[in-house]
Amino acid sequence: MKSNAMRNVGALARREMGFYFNSPVAYITITLFLVVCGVYLFSMDDIQTGRSFFEDNEASLRKLFDVIPVIFILIIPAITMRLLAEEKRSGTIELLFTMPVTDTQIALGKFFGGLAFLAITLIATIPLPVIVGTLGSLDVGALVAGYLGLFLLGAAYLAIGLMASSWTDNQIVAYLLAALICAFFYAISGMVSVVWAGAQDTLAALSFEGHFANITRGVIDTRDVVFYLSFVVVALVITVQSLQARNWK
């Protein structure tokens, strides 16, 4: 029974992967992402320090890890917007519902499909640390932690994107909703000053940025990992509930 469910989730994930990688769109998207990362790392001044990579004279990818979460806010909703919204619009979701898969398996399959896309995107950036590593002694531990942080953050963005995609049959609406929610949770710590002082700690604890900053320092803290996983689980549960809503709507 369990293996059947896993097989279903795997098949759905592969199907989603096929959608991405059997057309040039995924390669063009990832290539653009790589170009932006490379240009920002080596050719542009840091937003915070105002200095270039070579002026900083430090073999570190912190500058890149600071900007990728922002780029992800634009890219990941684009990956997720079609996951359910397009199926709803074209009616293929009804076909999916007739198949021997549960709503949870559908949500998980699509989520893991997106996650695989995210993993490939991150793997494609490996030439950047390799180049930096040839220039100086790179702290591999901090690098691994940074990638793990990006993966967890990306997973949370993906779950949010999938959730937004389950709410509508319009891809543009799904994209905008997902981007807005991701941006809200990423920048929530910056909004602290405009809200009631008593909620500061709570809002700061909900900030994607704060938890991500901890991980990119090289520390894997179970609190940060639990935070991201909780976010993924909550978003996936909402997605499943949204799919199940067809039964009573």
Partner 1 sequence: MARTKKVAGAGNTALVIVLTLVVAVVVNILGNQLYGRVDLTEYGVNLLSDASKDAVRDLDGLEIRVFISDPLPDEIPSPAPGRPPLTTLGLGQKLKDKIEEYKAVAGAGVTVTYVADNVVEEGKKARLKPFKGKGGTFTEAGGIKRDEYVLGVTFNYKNAMEVYDLALYPEVYEFEITKRLLRLKDKAEHALTMKDLLRSGEAVNDAVTRCVAALEAAAPDQDAPSGAMMLLNPEDTKAKVAAYTGRKDELTQTCGAIAGAVEQARTMKGKSEQLDRVALVADAFAQNLDQFWTQLGGSDPQAATSAAVNGIKRVLAIGHAIENEYQDLVDSPGRRRIGFVCDGKTFCPFPDAKPLVPKEIEGALTQKNPILQQMLPAMQQMQQQIANLLAQINQGLFRARGFDIVQIDLDDDIPDDVQALVVFGPKGSFTDYQLYQLDQFVVGGGSLVVFLNPWDVQIQGYTARGEPQLDPKAWKLTQNTSNITDLLATWGITPSGALVLEPKKHGDIALMTYLQTNQGYVPFQAQEFPYPMVPTLDDLDRSDPLVRATNTITLPFATTLTLKAPAGGTLTALARTSADALTTTDTSLPLEPGAQFPTKEALEKKMIAKAADPLGTPDAAKLDKVAAPAAVIAVASGTLPSHFAGKDAPKAPEKKPDPLEPEPKQEDAAVTEALGAQHAKRDSGAGGRVLVIGSNLGLEPLSKDVIFAGFDLAAISGDSFDFIEQFRQYQANFQNWSNQVQQIQHTLGENLQFLSNALDWSIQRDALVELRAKQIVARPLSTTADGDHGGLQAAAVLVAPLLFLLAGLAYVLRRRSRQRRLSL
Give me the residues that bind partner 1 (CB under 8 A), please: 21-24, 26-28, 30-32, 34-35, 38-39, 41-43, 54, 57-60, 124, 127-128, 131, 135-142, 144-145, 189, 192-193, 197-198, 200-201, 204-205, 210, 217-223, 226-227, 230-231, 233-234, 237-238, 241, 244-245, 247-249
At residue 123, φ and ψ (nearest 5 deg) are -65, -35
Q: How far apart are the first and last CA of the chain?
A: 30
- Residue 189 contacts residue 207 (beta carbons within 8 Å): yes
- Rounded to whole angstroms, the Cα distance separating 149 from 172 reads 28
Nearer to partner 1, 7 or 123 (CB): 123
For residue 93, the minimal CB distance to partner 1 (Å) is 18
For residue 82, the minimal CB distance to partner 1 (Å) is 18
- Rounded to whole angstroms, the Cα distance separating 242 from 88 reads 12
Nearer to partner 1, 94 or 221 (CB): 221
- Rounded to whole angstroms, the Cα distance separating 106 from 37 reads 33
Nearer to partner 1, 95 or 136 (CB): 136
- Rounded to whole angstroms, the Cα distance separating 72 from 24 reads 20
| Rounded alpha-carbon distances, angstroms, from residue 46 to 26, 56, 61 | 28, 9, 12
Nearer to partner 1, 20 or 72 (CB): 20
For residue 160, the minimal CB distance to partner 1 (Å) is 14
Comparing C-alpha atoms, which of 72, 83, 79 is closest to residue 33? 72
For residue 128, the minimal CB distance to partner 1 (Å) is 6
Comparing C-alpha atoms, which of 216, 248, 244, 246 is closest to residue 107? 244
For residue 11, the minimal CB distance to partner 1 (Å) is 19
Nearer to partner 1, 94 or 127 (CB): 127
Nearer to partner 1, 95 or 226 (CB): 226
For residue 170, the minimal CB distance to partner 1 (Å) is 22
